[in-house]
Amino acid sequence: MTLSTMSSSLATNAWDALWFRENGSAYAGEYNSIYYFIFWASAAFFVVLMVLMVWFMLRYKRRPGVAAEVSASHNTPLEIAWSVIPAIGFAIMFFWGTWAYLPKAVVPEGAETINVTAQQWQWKFEYPNGATSLQTEWISDMEQPLFAIPAGRPVKFLLSSTDVIHSFYIPEFRIKRDCFPNRYTVCWAEAKEPTHWFDPADGLAKPYDKNDDGKFTDGEQGYYLYCAEYCGDQHSQMTHRIAVLAEPDYQAWLEKQNNTDGVPLLDLGAKLYKTGGCAACHSVQPGGVGTGPSWHGIWGTARPGYQPLNADENAGAVVDEQYIRTSIIEPQSYYAPGFQGVQMSQYAGVFTDRELRAIATYIQSLSDDPAAVEKAKQKSDAEAAAQAASDAGAAEGAADESDPEVPAEPGA
Amino acid sequence: MSDHHAHYLAGKGSTGKTIMSWVWTYDHKKIGVMYLVAVLMMFFLGGLAALGVRAELFEPHYTEFVNDDGQVVADTKGYKGAGSDFVVPEGTTPEQRGVMFPNITVTTVETNPDTGERTEGTKTVTGNNIYNRAFTLHGTIMVFLFIIPAVPAALGNIFLPIMLGAKDVAFPKLNLWSWYIYLFGGMFAIFALIQGGVETGWTFYTPYSSTTEWGNVTAMVLAAFILGFSSIFTGMNFIVTVHKLRVPGMGWFDMPLFIWALYATSIIQVLATPVLGITLLMVVFERTFLIGIFDPALGGDAVLFQHFFWFYSHPAVYIMILPGFGIISEIIAVHCRKRIFGYRAIAFSSIAIAAISFLVWAHHMFTSQSPVANVVFSALTFLVAIPTAIKVFNWISTMYKSSIAWTTPMLYACFFLFCFTIGGLTGPPLATLAVDIHLHDTYFVVAHFHYVMMGGTVLAFVGGLHHWWPKFTGKVYNETWATVGGWIVFLGFNLTFFIQFFLGTQGMPRRYATYPTDIPAFEIMHKISTVGSWLLLLGFLIHLFVFLHSLLAGKKAARNPWGGLTLEWETETPPLEHNFEREPVMTHGPYDYDTARPVNADPALFPMPTDTPKAH
């Protein structure tokens, strides 16, 4: 950001920036009122105290040879007053704050339930139809999945974690709830207005240009989902986009995410890399850095196994489809040199067979060996062709698949 | 020359003897001075880590896409969501930018347990990881090695016995033990640091702390465990000293308020610290022996740790701030030459705060526990705010119709009142459930506790250091430069932290190494905050030079430069080895400025009200 755009946005938004962000949910307004009540009451209190302090400092500055007047060092009515008045103020804050909070702790009937899984260091939304998001966006220095939610009706977030404690935080909805391993927690929100629309042309949710000026300023590109409980290395990159869609758009977007059959293996693998949690730790650049090894050029390389109970088993492997499959489902079976002891979350049951193959194909395509890359492309193209043939020839029953297909039903 | 009549800083004839007289000293003042040097070093070390944290946040991370020729083709700084025309150009390599801490590659050596064969490899430590270590280092050092011992173990050790008219603390050998245990615990912490540091945050939340593969957590946790003993020993010593060693004639309500504050602090130290100790040991057991206590994967409960941890660490907040309250009571009374307003209210509110502080721990867990528990702890939290508010009213009332000397300690007392009042008033939004849900774990909390801990305790500590500096060093410091340093610290502090309240209401989570590039408010506010941190550094460096100059070239200080009435001003400057020539006699209360003339001070400088009745 250049200094000039910074200063212009400072001028226009300075006052707004001092308060809460846009109020995106049906009940956030009352929370704002409580905060502003406390804020202005405190501000008034502060000003009175500081004016007194500065006035006393100036008025009673020591003069040489002059002693202080004798004055009371105790005044019971005054002391009772300044104990009771703050107590009353605190009582108002407590009752108002609790009154507003408690009903919001209970999820309304009939809310759309989205399973949210937190892991180091990515969020995953699983929608009622079993779909997960395949759309991504660049945030800070990461390409992260975007999650859509419907506008105008309550959405329940069923939260859990696969590793350490995370916290689900969307500032515009004023919600925050910790996510624990081995335990469910819930929170809910009812988004007021859509921030995005669904573009059927490319199947993406896109932000509304509210000012219609061709620019997307702060607050026009939807909301952020943050992790608010420190969870390790890339805690600060657990920042994802929340897009609020009108109901028909939401349904269309959901359907689009659900249907991965038509996505060629290579493209699907590349998408899953970004949305499935892989990108948080694995780079795809040569010599790329991360908590886990880069995927670039690993295809076909040797991997030692962890010390097995039975010495004949798991003595090691080379990176191939079977290896990748095992490493995703049981990450502790093998390790990459230099990454011994790194604990990767288990992904058993997270990906379908076709998705696992897609990821393996994608890794193959990142090989240094041109022949392997070519093979990955061929595999993807062949599968797409076979599928097209199968779709076309379904009526004739003449499809001949050398590579039997597992139906892609994410979450099945 | 008899030892008893030499002042405590006097040499012992030879360098070796002098050094040994410090190493094996039972003198509370020498132990206090050694503590003081150590905590100041820790303060600067923790401060350096904080400067690193602020530098990292000066701008957000972003990505540049570089083609084969090394040219930057695009970056994500202006990226505005899926609707914009931004596309990742083909054939480019993304590179991370905007980071203060770059990724570093370290060499690893792995040993095959079967063959003993060693293979070298490399492993990359991300810039984030280094940032995470920096803020953990800052938190751990500042909490366990600086702020908890800063006032009680350093200034408290030097002055508590003198203000009671005692020769020493009740258990001088235990006091020396406490110091060496602190040193030992500090070495563990430094060891963990040299080994590569810890990145769990100072709160060591499980299961992250019990499973993280970046090591040294065990060493750091043991350091905190050991430091806990040091804290407990000091607390026990002070409690017994206050009960048993008050000079004859000094009743409980004749004690200076600094003593009341240290007494309340000691009670918390003794009662709460063991809980932390055993909790940290459990983390060590979980890490080392895989005993499932907190890690759900081992059958433990992650929230249990938070309960145990905050059962200590919330009262610990009052271990940190109560001594600060005590210092402010002393400074305001002495420099205003005024009986403190509502002495008993201040004394009792210290005890009330100590008691209630044990009942509010779960307000750190509003987003992790049941809503019903939240209601209970929200109510209890508001209770603790009342005695705190009363103290502020009492201090400001004391200034009314007084005779205020514009000195560095008094300036710091005003800075304290300004910052601590902000810190206190930003507590209620966090205690209010509906609001806290939004503000929890954001920069609002960071700003709030820095206003309390730094704007409160640290400013009080620096004020107290100037207040008692002439007494315990025997040297005068340069008032002008101390004032300049004080103003720069005050401005730097507010520049750094005030804006963070608004970062918090805007939703910026804490402990983030970066933030979204498309929220301009975040970047501007972080820049302001970082510039403030540089001012803070400048201010504290000025103080450091003022103190060093005073030690090396300062004039000899008078025995009672401020005209104080508490007992430390009656003894020599610097105090004698056994504090007093003979046991002092109580002729007046600690704040009887209307009736008692300060001893060892020029009567012309400290006149009495003309209608003063004779001292009773």
The 10s digit of each residue's pLDDT in B188-210 is: 898 888 887 888 889 888 888 88
Facing B401 at nearest CB: one of A17, A49, A69: A69
A352 and A287 part of one domain: yes
Nearest Cα to Cα of residue B136 among B218, B42, B53, B40: B53
Predicted pLDDT at B581: 87
As given in the structure block, the two tokens for residue B499 are 């804006």
Domain harbouring A172, CATH code: 2.60.40.420
Q: What is the pLDDT of residue A309?
A: 44
Mean pLDDT of B350-359: 89
Q: Which of B483, B477, B357, B337 is nearest to B401 (CA)?
A: B337
Determine which of B66, B67, B80, B439 to mutate to test the interface with A (most A C-beta atoms within 10 Å).
B80
Please state, in angstroms and rounded to a whole number, the distance separating the CA atoms of residues A265 and A268: 5
pLDDT at B110 (0 to 100)? 65
Quick one: A124 and A245 in the same domain? yes
Which residue in the set B297, B438, B518 is minimally distant from A176, CB to CB?
A: B438
For B10, counting Cβ atoms within 10 Å of its Cβ (0-12 exposed, 13-18 middle, 19+ buried), the class is middle
* CATH assignment of the domain containing B520: 1.20.210.10
Q: Do A116 and A254 fall into the same domain?
A: yes
- Judge contact between A312 and A375, C-beta under 8 A: no
| ipTM of the complex model | 0.89
Instruction: Give pLDDT, residue A293.
Output: 83
State whether A228 and B81 contact (CB < 8 Å). no
Q: Among A211-220, A371-380, B331-340, B404-413, which stretch is predicted with the lowest mean pLDDT? A: A211-220
Q: Give the pLDDT of residue A64.
A: 86
Query: A138, B96: Cβ pair inside 8 Å?
Result: no
Tokens of B52: 């690193």
B441 in reach of chain A (CB within 8 A): yes
pLDDT at A49 (0 to 100): 95
Closest chain B C-alpha to A369 CA, distance in angstroms: 17
- Within a domain: A309: yes
In the predicted model, what is the mean pLDDT of residues B219-236? 93
Same domain, A362 and A314: yes
Select, from the ranges B73-77, B229-233, B301-305, the one with the highest average predicted confidence (pLDDT): B229-233
Picking from A234, A258, A282, the residue at the C-terminal end of a domain is: A258
Domain membership flag for residue A324? yes
Most confident of A269-283, B212-226, B487-501: B487-501
pLDDT, position B288: 86
Q: Taking a C-beta distance cutoff of 8 angstroms, is the pair B217, B204 a contact?
A: yes
Residue B232 domain flag: yes
**CB atoms A230 and B511 under 8 Å:** yes
- B387 has a pLDDT exceeding 70: yes
Which pLDDT score, from 0 to 100, does residue B176 have? 95
Would you say residue A247 has pLDDT above 90?
Answer: yes
Nearest by CB to residue A228, choosing from B113, B378, B440, is B440
Give the CA distances from residue B386 to residues A73, A90, A91, B346, in Å, rounded to whole numbers and listed in that order. Answer: 20, 9, 11, 12
Same domain, A215 and A168: yes
CA dist., res. A134 & res. B493, Å (int): 45
- Cβ-based contacts of B94 with chain A (< 8 Å): 141, 285
Q: Check CB contact under 8 Å for A163 and B609.
A: no
Residue-wise DSSP of B327-342: HHHHHHHHHHTSPPTT
Domain for residue A276, yes or no?
Answer: yes
Q: Pick from B284, B294, B309, B299: which is nearest to B207 by CA?
A: B294
DSSP conformation letters of B308-327: HHHHHHHHHHHHHHHHHHHH
Question: Among A46, A97, A174, whose Cβ lies nearest the Cβ of B378?
Answer: A97
Q: DSSP alpha helices (H): ranges in A126-264?
A: 247-258
Predicted confidence (pLDDT) at residue B594 exceeds the cutoff of 70:
yes
CA dihedral B514, B517, B521, B525 (to 10 degrees): 30
**Residue B521 near chain A (CB below 8 Å):** yes
Average pLDDT, chain A: 81
Same domain, A117 and A102: no
CA distance B113 to chain A (A): 8
In contact, A28 and A174? CB cutoff 8 Å:
yes
Identify the weakest region by mean pLDDT among A213-227, A320-334, B25-39.
A213-227
**Chain A CB within 8 Å of residue B518 CB:** yes
Has residue B368 got a pLDDT over 70? yes
pLDDT at site B603? 84
Query: Is pLDDT of A357 > 50?
Result: yes
pLDDT at A304 over 90: no
Residue at A379 is within a domain: yes
Nearest by CB to residue A138, choosing from B76, B199, B345, is B76
Q: Which domain holds residue B468?
A: 15-60+126-553
> Does A408 map to a domain?
no
| A188 three-state secondary structure | strand
Q: What pLDDT is recorded for position A320? A: 84
pLDDT at A406 over 50: no
User: Which carries the bigger pLDDT value, residue A204 or residue A316?
Assistant: A204
- Tell whether A369 is covered by a domain: yes
Q: Do A174 and B437 make contact, defined as CB atoms within 8 angstroms?
A: yes
Shared domain check, A357 and A337: yes
Distances (CA, A) of B445 to A304, B322, B439, B441, B501: 46, 20, 7, 6, 8
Task: Determine the Cα angle at A302 with ends A297 and A308, to 5°.
Answer: 140
Model confidence at B281: pLDDT above 80:
yes
Answer yes or no: is B563 within a domain: no
Q: Which of A204, A239, A258 is the last residue of a domain?
A: A258
For tokens 């199947």, the residue is A203
Q: Which of A42-46, B120-124, B215-219, B515-519 shows the lowest per-residue confidence on average (mean pLDDT)?
A: B120-124
| Minimum distance, in Å, between the CA of residue B271 and any CA atom of chain A | 28
Split into its structural domains, chain B has a count of 1
Q: pLDDT of B414-453, one tens digit each?
A: 999 999 999 999 999 999 999 999 999 999 999 999 999 9
For residue B588, the 8-state DSSP code is S
Residue A210: pLDDT band by 50, 70, 90 thresholds? low
In the Cβ-directed half-sphere of B84, how many Cα atoms lie within 13 Å?
18
Report residue A7's pLDDT band, with 50, 70 and 90 as the boundaries.
low
Q: A348 is in which domain, residue-wise?
A: 265-394
User: How much is the average pLDDT of B307-334?
Assistant: 93
Do residue A164 and residue A275 come from a single domain?
Answer: no
Domains identified in chain A, total number: 3
Q: Which of A260-269, B98-107, B251-260 has the lowest mean pLDDT?
A: B98-107
Overall pTM > 0.80: yes
* B345 contact A CB<8A: yes
One domain, residues A130 and A95: no
Residue B399: its H or E element: helix B371-399
- Rounded to whole angstroms, how far apart are CA atoms B22 and B20? 5
Whether A10 is covered by a domain: the verdict is no
B566 in any annotated domain:
no
Do residues A197 and A315 both lie within one domain?
no
Averaged pLDDT for residues A108-115: 91
- If asked whether residues A247 and A119 sit together in one domain, one would say yes
pLDDT of residue B135: 93
* pLDDT at site A404: 45
Look over chain B and give the mean of its residue pLDDT values, rounded to a whole number: 89
Q: In sequence order, what are the residues at sequence separation of 6 or more whose Cβ sits closer than 8 angstroms to the Cβ of residue B506? A: A17, A20, A21, A171, B519, B521, B522, B525
High-pLDDT (> 70) share of chain B, %? 94
Query: What pLDDT is attached to residue B261?
Result: 94
Phi, psi of B442 (to 5 degrees): -110, 180
Size of interface A-B (CB pairs under 8 A): 362
Shortest CA gap B556–chain A (Å) = 23
* d(C-alpha A115, C-alpha A129), whole Å: 11
CA distance A199 to chain B (A): 10
Q: In the structure, what pLDDT confidence band is assigned to residue B264 with cuts at 50, 70 and 90? A: very high
| Residue A221 belongs to some domain of the structure | yes
**Res A270 pLDDT > 70:** yes
pLDDT of amino acid B144? 92
Residue among B389, B414, B441 minimizing CB distance to A53 = B414
User: Residue range A367-379: average pLDDT?
Assistant: 85
pLDDT of B85 reads: 55
Cβ of A338 within 8 Å of Cβ of B108? The answer is yes
Please check whether residue B574 lies inside any domain of the structure. no
Residues 6+ apart with CB under 8 A from B236: B171, B174, B266, B270
Does residue B52 belong to any structural domain of this protein?
Answer: yes
Q: Say if CB B608 and CB A65 are below 8 A apart.
A: no
